[in-house]
């Protein structure tokens, strides 16, 4: 789809939002899933991010991912630059992207300003990828809520990539034996008592790891403080022993991304510019998985409908096959 | 009443040679895909994980293969035995539509060597619409071969398999109606998880109904299309009277489909989306215009009487139904970041090769097996 077309679409979406934003109310959706009390998550504060991309290279090293580059046709002056992915891919689990407008003079300002955003899996409370995977290769840990991927089960259908509301899972198309790549909160490091690589190296605390409950309280504190107030921003893990980043409260948009989106996510965003500018899509608060599963469960409840239908069809077919073998030529 | 008989005309003709060549080109690129990965052949990318191999070969291809489903419903469920001469050719096209759709799934799967996981109960994931589609389509391919098997077995000594098929045909036929109803509607349900990524012109809770009814329409479309093309090419008597009677039924189903679709668009207050100029909106209108054209051709008596009416109507139905699927899966879909997709030439060649193979096998079968009714004018 061309950009122009996309914009047209968004514009129309503007004057018809009332209709589309409304969730599907019918009896169809199944009840939404609830967040686990022990859920872990991340807070990404766009106003603290200075675009150093340390998290990107730390992520590559921690997860043994190969370097990625902008496709040559798009790379312009920086052709061949080592590891310069412009988006998530089968080789990139985490990417920092830039929003810029006009003269791009002031950080975190919408007009003539710029801002950063970090893109990776949001670890949905009710994840679409888990719901759509036909073989259960995507699973959500009932306690930590981490959504992880098992390449030994995956058949490579890429429904997870198509269905994720945030465009996260990516198949590696360059490899004849490719697999899906997606952030898994560095489960392997957590098992060793460490924290995810991106939060570990973030110098400003823009990426902060911790239990979702504590992160929610932290978000509340930041939004409650007046802009300009001195504030100690935690780094690494919330409640950890690292020296904080002493700074001041910025002008937040007062909205939290991830609290309700797609039924809620374990990654939350704070920013100084509106989220759609950062490429964080406008997603309703209803989890898409609950709509699709609700429909399936309604149609296939205990397989009653198919069994009844089969009985009816079989009865009619049998009665109408007076000659025993249906494919006999009619005896006329 | 005529009986089904093999055409027994020459197998090697310029047409079959061209088809064979196209299939060979497709296979060459498939080899590349297996050696160098999906990205070496197809243009699918970070924003468009599904391209025409999924949407054309599987989603559209199986709907075109619904001839057997559509006719079985008419002949055996609604007991219209007079349509029987159209049954076998319809099953045959379904056989190839579905079998090759299943083959296409295999080369599109990124980790095809794990495909057996779909059958292992401990990996079953019944919440996934795709799981249901996969099992259901696999079962239906088997059912189709059984439904068609009398064409192979005719004139042979009755063996155990034949006795089994004879005895249980009523159940096989019932499954042959039930399974396509299930998975063709699920092909619509697969999009219910797309949420805001799919334009409201296509996203609706009625997707399953819209998909299964339009698959039925396309099934009748392919039956009418084949009847005309085959009788013309091989000088067979055409089933004009039969087809004309059928077309009224199909016309009414098409009107019902349009009523459901537009009623739903109206009820959701999203008609405003159909009033801007963009690629997808133009496609939306073409789609609906094709369906409307088919309905009119089939229903208006003066039009239906026209010599080419059933053929043109069938083409409009098939084109409309295919475009509807293409739109719902690709054109009406907006990826999260700004990616675009257009199939590459090798990618298209694979799909064209598959279609060529399908037509080729169809020709070989009608020439060697008792499929078509009426003696050919020339031998
Ligand atoms: S963001 Fe996407 S990949 Fe991550 S849990 Fe949600 S649906 Fe799955
Ligand atoms: S690509 Fe793999 S993980 Fe994703 S939905 Fe398909 S089988 Fe599941």
Q: Of the residues A134, A137, A182, which should be mutated to test ligand 2's pocket, given the most ligand atoms within 8 Å of the CB? A: A137
- CB-based contact (8 Å) between A23 and chain B? no
Residues of A in contact with B129 (CB under 8 A): 132, 292, 296
CB of A169 closer than 6 angstroms to any ligand 1 atom = yes
Render pLDDT for A310-331 as a digit per residue (tens, 0 to 9): 999 999 999 988 654 444 444 3
Tokens, residue B274 = 């159909």
Q: Which atom of ligand 1 is nearest to the CA of A123?
A: 5
Beta strands in chain B (DSSP E): 4-5, 372-373
Q: Are B136 and B179 in contact (CB under 8 A)?
A: yes
Using the CB atoms, write b or e for A306-326: b if 16+ within 10 Å: beeebeebbebbbebbeeeeb
- B4 CA to chain A: closest CA distance, Å? 8
User: Chain A interface, mutation test: which of B4, B30, B125, most A Cβ atoms within 10 Å?
Assistant: B125
Q: What is the pLDDT of residues B343-362, one digit of tens each?
A: 999 999 999 999 999 999 99
pLDDT at A15: 39
Cα–ligand 2 centroid distance for B50 (angstroms): 12
Measured CA to CA in angstroms, residue A41 lies from A150, A238, A267 at distances of: 20, 10, 5
Asked whether the beta carbons of B150 and A308 are under 8 A apart, the reply is no
Mean pLDDT value of segment A135-141: 97
Q: Are B268 and A19 in contact (CB under 8 A)?
A: yes
**Mean pLDDT over residues B240-266, rounded?**
94
Which residue of B lies nearest to A152 if distances are taken between CA atoms? B114
Query: Is the confidence at residue B1, as pLDDT, over 60?
Result: no
Band of residue A39 on the pLDDT scale cut at 50, 70, 90 = very high
Find the range with the poorest average confidence among A17-31, B30-44, B85-99, B123-137: A17-31
Please determine, for residue B230, whether its predicted confidence score (pLDDT) is greater than 90: no
Residue B261: which of B327, B190, B182, B335 has the closest Cα?
Answer: B327
Q: Is A282 helix (H, G, I), strand (E, B) or coil?
A: coil
pLDDT category of residue A26 using cuts at 50, 70 and 90: low
Tokens of A270: 């704070």
CATH of A40-285, one of 3.40.50.2020, 3.40.50.300, 3.30.70.20, 3.40.50.2300: 3.30.70.20
End-to-end CA distance of chain A: 57
Short-list A126, A131, A123, CA closest to A293: A131
User: How many angstroms separate the CA atoms of B119 and A133, rounded?
Assistant: 14
Residue A238 pLDDT grade (very low, low, confident, very high; cuts 50, 70, 90):
very high
Decide whether any atom of ligand 1 lies within 6 Å of the A127 Cβ. yes
- What is the per-residue DSSP string for A225-242? SPTT-EEEE--EETT-SS
Which of A149, A154, A173 should be substituted to probe chain B, the one whose Cβ sees the most B Cβ atoms within 10 Å?
A: A173
Of A13, A88, A94, the closest CA to residue A61 belongs to: A94
Q: What is the C-alpha separation between A289 and A133, in angstroms, rounded? A: 11
Q: Count of CB contacts below 8 A, A vs B?
A: 258
Paired tokens of B180 = 């396509």
Residue to mutate, A130, A131, A135, A171, ligand 2, most ligand atoms under 8 Å from C-beta = A135
Does residue A40 line the site of ligand 2, with CB under 6 A?
A: no
Residues forming a β-bridge with A92: A89
Structure tokens at A193: 């008592």
Q: What are phi and psi of B293, to 5 degrees?
A: -60, -45
What is the maximal distance between C-alpha atoms in chain A?
A: 95
Indicate yes or no: CB of A8 within 8 angstroms of CB of B131: no
The rounded distance, in Å, linking the Cα atoms of A244 and A233 is 5
A43 touches A268 (CB < 8 A): yes
pTM over 0.90: yes
Q: What is the pLDDT of residues B155-172, one digit of tens each?
A: 776 678 888 888 899 999
Average pLDDT, chain B: 92
- What chain B holds in terms of domains, given with CATH numbers, is 44-336 (1.20.1630.10)
In 3D, which of B46, B67, B65, B45 has the Cα closest to residue B56? B65
pLDDT digits (tens, 9 = 90+) for A76-127: 776 666 677 889 999 999 999 999 999 999 999 999 999 999 999 999 999 9
| Nearest-Cα residue of chain B relative to residue A86 | B337
Chain A's closest residue to B134, CA to CA, is A134
Contacts of B340 in chain A (CB under 8 A): 1-2
- Name the token pair of A95: 């990417």
**Check: complex ipTM more than 0.90:** yes
Q: What pLDDT is stored for residue B241 in this prediction?
A: 83
At A245, is the secondary structure helix, strand, or coil? strand
Q: Where in chain A is the domain with CATH 3.30.70.20?
A: 40-285
Whole-number pLDDT of residue A75: 67
CA atoms in the 13 A half-sphere facing the CB of B224 = 32
User: Cβ-count burial of B264 within 10 angstroms (0-12 exposed, 13-18 middle, 19+ buried)?
Assistant: middle
Q: Residue A134: pLDDT band by 50, 70, 90 thresholds? A: very high
Ligand found nearest the CA of A41: 1
Residue A1: the pLDDT is 37
DSSP for A83-151 reads S--SS-BTTBS-EEEEEE-TT--EET-STTEEEEEEES---BSS-HHHHH-TT--EEE-TTT--EEE-T
B-interface mutation test, from A134, A277, A321, most B Cβ less than 10 A away: A134
- What is the structure's pLDDT at A25? 56
* Pairwise CB contact (< 8 Å): A292 & B134: no
**Tens of pLDDT along A172-185?**
999 999 999 999 99
- Chain centroid to Cα A112, Å, comes to 28
Taking contacts as CB-CB distances below 8 angstroms, the residues of chain B near A20 are 196, 200, 270
- Proportion of chain A above pLDDT 70, given as a percent: 85
- Is residue B253 within 8 A of residue B295, CB to CB? The reply is no
């Amino acid at each position: 789809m061309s950009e122009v077309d996309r914009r047209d679409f968004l514009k129309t979406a503007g004057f018809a939002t009332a209709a589309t934003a409304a969730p599907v109310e019918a009896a169809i959706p199944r009840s939404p899933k609830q967040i686990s009390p022990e859920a872990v998550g991340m807070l990404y504060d766009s106003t603290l991010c200075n675009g150093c991309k340390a998290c990107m290279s730390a992520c590559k090293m921690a997860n043994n991912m190969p370097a990625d580059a902008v496709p040559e046709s798009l790379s312009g002056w920086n052709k061949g630059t080592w590891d310069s992915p412009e988006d998530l891919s089968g080789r990139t689990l985490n990417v920092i992207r830039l929003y810029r407008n006009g003269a791009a003079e002031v950080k975190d300002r919408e007009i003539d300003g710029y801002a950063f955003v970090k893109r990776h899996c949001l670890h949905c409370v009710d994840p679409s990828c888990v719901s759509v995977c036909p073989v259960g290769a995507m699973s959500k840990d009932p306690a930590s809520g981490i959504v992880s991927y098992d390449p030994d089960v995956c058949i490579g259908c890429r429904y997870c990539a198509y269905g994720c509301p945030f465009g996260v899972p990516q198949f590696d198309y360059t490899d004849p034996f490719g697999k899906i790549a997606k952030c898994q909160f560095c489960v392997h490091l957590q098992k060793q008592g460490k924290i995810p690589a991106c939060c570990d190296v973030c110098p400003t605390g823009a990426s902060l790891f911790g239990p979702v409950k504590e992160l929610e309280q932290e978000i509340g504190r930041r939004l409650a403080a007046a802009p300009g107030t001195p504030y100690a921003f935690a780094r690494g893990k919330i409640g950890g022993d690292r020296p904080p980043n002493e700074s001041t409260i910025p002008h937040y948009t007062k909205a939290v991304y991830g609290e309700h989106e797609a039924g809620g996510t374990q990654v939350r965003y704070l920013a100084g510019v509106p989220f759609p500018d950062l490429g964080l899509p406008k997603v309703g608060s209803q989890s898409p998985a609950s709509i699709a599963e609700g429909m399936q469960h309604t149609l296939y409840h205990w397989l009653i409908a198919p069994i009844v239908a089969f009985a009816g069809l079989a009865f009619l077919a049998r009665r109408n096959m007076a000659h025993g073998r249906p494919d006999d030529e009619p005896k006329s | 009443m005529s009986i089904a008989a093999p055409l027994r005309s020459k197998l090697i003709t310029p047409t079959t040679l061209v088809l064979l060549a196209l299939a060979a080109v497709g296979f060459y690129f498939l080899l590349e895909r297996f050696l160098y990965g999906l990205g070496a052949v197809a243009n699918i990318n970070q924003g468009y994980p599904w391209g025409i191999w999924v949407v054309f070969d599987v989603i559209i291809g199986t709907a075109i293969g619904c001839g057997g489903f559509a006719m079985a419903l008419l002949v055996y469920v609604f007991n219209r035995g007079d349509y029987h001469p159209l049954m076998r050719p319809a099953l045959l096209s379904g056989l190839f539509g579905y079998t090759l759709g299943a083959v296409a799934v295999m080369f599109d799967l990124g980790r095809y060597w794990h495909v057996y996981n779909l059958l292992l109960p401990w990996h079953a994931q019944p919440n996934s619409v795709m799981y249901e589609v996969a099992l259901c389509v696999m079962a239906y391919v088997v059912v189709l071969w059984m439904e068609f098997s009398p064409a192979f077995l005719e004139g042979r000594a009755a063996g155990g398999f034949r006795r089994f098929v004879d005895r249980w045909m009523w159940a096989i036929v019932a499954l042959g109606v039930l399974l396509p109803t299930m998975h063709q509607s699920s092909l619509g349900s697969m999009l219910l998880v797309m949420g805001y990524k799919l334009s409201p012109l296509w996203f609706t809770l009625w997707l399953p109904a819209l998909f299964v009814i339009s698959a039925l329409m396309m099934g009748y479309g392919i039956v009418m299309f084949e009847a005309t093309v085959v009788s013309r090419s091989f000088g067979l008597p055409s089933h004009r009277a039969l087809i004309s009677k059928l077309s009224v039924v199909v016309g009414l189903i098409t009107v019902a489909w349009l009523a459901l679709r537009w009623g739903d668009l109206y009820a959701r207050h999203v008609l405003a989306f159909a009033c801007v100029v963009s690629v997808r909106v133009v496609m939306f209108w073409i789609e609906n215009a094709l369906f409307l054209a088919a309905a009119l051709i089939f229903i208006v008596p003066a039009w239906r009487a026209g010599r080419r009416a059933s053929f043109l109507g069938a083409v409009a139905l098939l084109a409309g139904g295919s475009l509807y699927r293409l739109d719902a899966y690709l054109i009406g879909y907006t990826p999260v970041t700004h990616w675009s997709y257009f199939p590459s030439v090798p990618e298209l060649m694979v799909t064209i090769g598959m279609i060529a193979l399908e037509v080729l096998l169809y020709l070989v079968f009608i020439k060697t097996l008792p499929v078509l009714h009426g003696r050919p004018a020339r031998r």
